[in-house]
């Protein structure tokens, strides 16, 4: 599957669509989800044209993908989620509920979350 440069996250990265950003650096941005599934629901996306889903990750992506996990944990701490706990989710494909074909991670917390499986 090829990357669509007009997907909603690409448009957010280009500031064509506004977002409530909570974090930004040279590699990633994070913003509050417009349809939150938890009291705190933040979406973390890499800049540029990443794989469309985790399925497209390769060994060469290990560096930035690992940094993405570190950034997510820092954001969780800054949101006060460390003591109570939080969930990190990456969906891969339509059957998993992936709605935007731009690799991204959901950070969910701020209350009791239901079971995953």
Active site residues: 104
Residue 117 pLDDT: 64
Q: Return the SS3 of 72.
A: helix
- pLDDT means per 10 residues, the chain with 117 residues, are 90 97 98 97 96 95 97 98 96 92 97 86
Phi and psi at 35, nearest 5°, equal -130, 70
How many CB atoms sit inside 10 A of residue 72's CB?
Answer: 21
Residue 58 inside a domain? The answer is yes
Opening angle at CA 47, ends 43 and 51, nearest 5:
85
Measured CA to CA, the distance from residue 93 to residue 99 in angstroms comes to 8
Closest-CA residue to 45 (of 55, 57, 31, 56)? 31
Domain ranges, residue 38? 8-109
CATH code of 34's domain:
3.30.428.10
Total domains in the fold of the chain: 1
Residue 115 pLDDT: 86
This prediction's pTM: 0.94
Measured CA to CA, the distance from residue 100 to residue 104 in angstroms comes to 8
Residue 16 inside a domain? The answer is yes
């Amino acid at each position: 599957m090829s990357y669509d440069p007009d997907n909603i996250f690409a448009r957010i990265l280009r500031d064509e669509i506004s977002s409530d950003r909570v974090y930004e650096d040279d590699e990633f941005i994070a913003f509050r989800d417009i349809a939150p599934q938890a009291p705190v629901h933040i979406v973390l996306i890499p800049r540029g044209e990443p794989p469309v889903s985790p399925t497209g990750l390769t060994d060469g992506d290990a560096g930035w993908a690992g940094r993405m996990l570190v950034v997510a944990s820092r954001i969780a701490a800054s949101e006060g989620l460390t003591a109570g706990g939080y969930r990190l989710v990456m969906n891969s494909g339509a059957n998993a509920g992936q709605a935007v074909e731009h690799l991204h991670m959901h950070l969910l917390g701020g209350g009791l979350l239901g079971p995953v499986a």
